[in-house]
Each structure stands twice: as structure tokens, then as C-alpha cells.
Amino acid sequence: MEQTIVIEKGIFIVIIFAITMLMAMYATLAERKIAAWLQDRIGPNRAGKGGILQPLADGLKLFAKEEFFPNTPNRFLFIAGPAISMSTALMTSAVIPWGDKLHLFGRDIILQATDINVAMLFIFAVLSIGVYGIMIGGWASNNKFSLMSAMRAASQMISYEVAMGLAIIALVMMTGTLSLREMAAQQSGMNWNVFYQPVGFLIFLVCSFAETNRTPFDLAECEAELIGGYHTEYSSMKMGFYLFAEYASMFISSTILAVLYFGAYNYPGMQWAEENWGVNIANIIGIVVLFAKLCFFIFFYMWVRWTIPRFRYDQLMRLGWQMLIPLAIANIVVTGIVILLTQ
């Protein structure tokens, strides 16, 4: 029994890893295609049909580039930077419920790598250590622009983590659990959290832009002031890892948004489908629904990137500390009062 669970979870983790990589790969293509569409261009269309092989070509190009090392006394940390970024971007997917369960080979397979009861805190822990990748990489580059960019990224991430945590506290007060699986199960049908926590959702959304270093919050890679940002000195696949980590974390944070606020794998009529078409079909539709939701959020990230220009640094800090945090605290107070009154 023990062994089958290990094998089952192992296969599941490999599948999630592959899907995350595939989604991150094609998110790079989607980014370019959407940018082209918003700017009335065609976008990449040479590699494969309609540019479908473009991510592979990009990857091949990055692998083939010269491995450049700057004159730094910290070669090990220089290599460790992108590695930390990449692994933290992938770690969060362990606690995400991708679906309810499948009934295969006479046993129920739960579609989640691990269901720890502090899943929400686990996500925050991984987010908070994700900063190290950028900080260590930026510092080990031995370049003042990289260092300044790393400092910016770190202070931005720390600032927005506070507001993000406060937004989540209101949600946790409402659902009464920190387990993502239970949160997903509570949102069955159209009972999505976004209808009960619209302000919390907005704060979380804005903060997730800041946490993934996406425009309008990508001050860390502000070319006009900082050359290329924290990865100025990086080349070849080490830089590829930094870029790839950004897309992987975008995919993961879209998933978290969908799971926390947009009903996870639930869709109206899931109960009915389960009774009439069986558990498997109902849950496969559920997985498809989850992916549709998260693809929308990925699209939303790109849509915002090509619509809104970058903030100034003081604007960014003011938004985080003077607007989002008081708003999040007010949201907690209001949620508390409403919970007290309705009980």
C-alpha cells in the first residue's frame, strides 16, 4: 500500500512538473503573440506553423550561447541565484489541488501532490524565500546595477508580501481553513470566494503582479535606469532560468488566484455531471475548467503588461504601504464584523 502511494504521488509530481514546464514554455510564446496582437503586429511565425516551435528555438538558442562569467569572487553564489529562483517557482505547485479525485484502477486518486493543513502558509514561505534567488544573483554579479536591481526587487517583494498576507487573512477568517483542498471544496457550484471577498481579491491580484515581478511592477528590470536589471551579467541558460522562473511563477500564481478566489476546479453542475457521467468525466471537466480559469489569468497578466506603463519607484512604494495595506486591514475589520453579525 505504502509503495503504491509513493509511485502514484511520484507519477503525479512528474506530470505536474512537466505541465508547469510546458505551460511556462508556451507562456513565452503567448506573451509575444499577445504583445503582437495588442500592437497590431503578427508576432513570431517562422518556427513551425504559426510560430508553434518558437519556444523550442528560443531554448536552443539560449543553450547554445556562450557561458559568460563576470569577474566575481562568488562563482558559486552566481550559479546558485538562478537555481534558487527556478526551484522556488516550481515548489509551490506541490500544495495546489488540481482537481478533486479520479477513480482509476479501483482506487481513488487525489489530484494533489500533498495535502498539508498549512498549505496557505507554505505558499507564503516559498514566496518569501523566492527573493533570495534575485538577491543572491544580483549581489554575486559584482555589478552595481545588478545589486541596485536586486535591492529594489527585494524591498518590493517584502512590501507587497505584507499586503498579500493581510488580504489572505480575511479569506482565511471567512473559510476557517488554511488547507487549499478544503478551500476548493467549499467553493462548489458558483459559490466562489471572489463574490464574498472582492476587495481581498483585488489586493491579492495587485500583489501577485508585484510578487512575480511583472509590469507595472517590474522596477527590478527597469532598462532605462538599470541596464538589464539583476540578470545583466547573466548569459546562456542561467539567464534563461531567470526568465523561465518568471513565467513558471506567473503560471503558479495564476493557479493560486483561480484556486483561492475563482472556485478552483468547481463549475456549475459538477454534482449533476458526477451523478450522470461518473466521477472521472466530471473531474476531467473540472481540471479543464481550472486550466481555462488559470489561462485567463495568464492572459490577464500579459494584457496588463502591454497596456499599463511601469510605475515610478516611489509610486510603487506608496501604493504598497499607504494604499494596499490600510485597505487590507479595513477589509479584515469589515470581514470580522460581517462574520460576527451573520453567525
Partner 1 sequence: MLTVFYILSAITLGTAFLTILSKNPIHSAIYLVLCFFSIAGHYLLFNAQFLAIVHIIVYSGAIMILMLFTIMLMNLNKEDEQNKSVLTRVAAAIALGLVAFILLATFIKAQPVIESYQVSGQDYQSIKVLGKVLLNEYMVPFEFASVLLLVSMIGAVLLSKKEHINS
Q: Which residues bind partner 1 (CB under 8 A)?
A: 77, 116-118, 121-122, 124-125, 127-129, 131-132, 135-136, 139, 147, 150-151, 154-155, 158, 161, 178
Q: Is 185 exposed, middle or buried (0-12, 13-18, 19+ CB in 10 A)?
A: middle
User: Between 53 and 116, whose beta carbon lies closer to partner 1?
Assistant: 116
Query: 216 preceded by cis ω (within 30°)?
Result: yes
d(CA 181, CA 26): 27
Q: Report CA torsion sign: 297, 302, 308, 310.
A: positive
User: Between 110 and 125, whose beta carbon lies closer to partner 1?
Assistant: 125
Q: Yes or no: say if 181 and 263 are a contact pair by the CB < 8 Å rule.
A: no
CB of 71 to partner 1, least distance (A): 16
CB of 64 to partner 1, least distance (A): 32
User: Between 45 and 117, whose beta carbon lies closer to partner 1?
Assistant: 117
CB of 72 to partner 1, least distance (A): 12
CB of 122 to partner 1, least distance (A): 6
User: Between 182 and 274, whose beta carbon lies closer to partner 1?
Assistant: 182
User: Between 112 and 283, whose beta carbon lies closer to partner 1?
Assistant: 112
SS3 308: coil
Instruction: Please report, for residues 100, 173, 174, the alpha-carbon distance to residue 177 in angstroms, rounded to integers and kept in the order given.
Output: 17, 8, 8
User: Between 122 and 209, whose beta carbon lies closer to partner 1?
Assistant: 122
Q: Yes or no: say if 46 and 36 are a contact pair by the CB < 8 Å rule.
A: no
Compute the CA torsion angle 313, 39, 297, 267 (nearest 10 deg).
160
CB of 88 to partner 1, least distance (A): 11
CB of 13 to partner 1, least distance (A): 18
Q: Yes or no: say if 124 and 161 are a contact pair by the CB < 8 Å rule.
A: yes
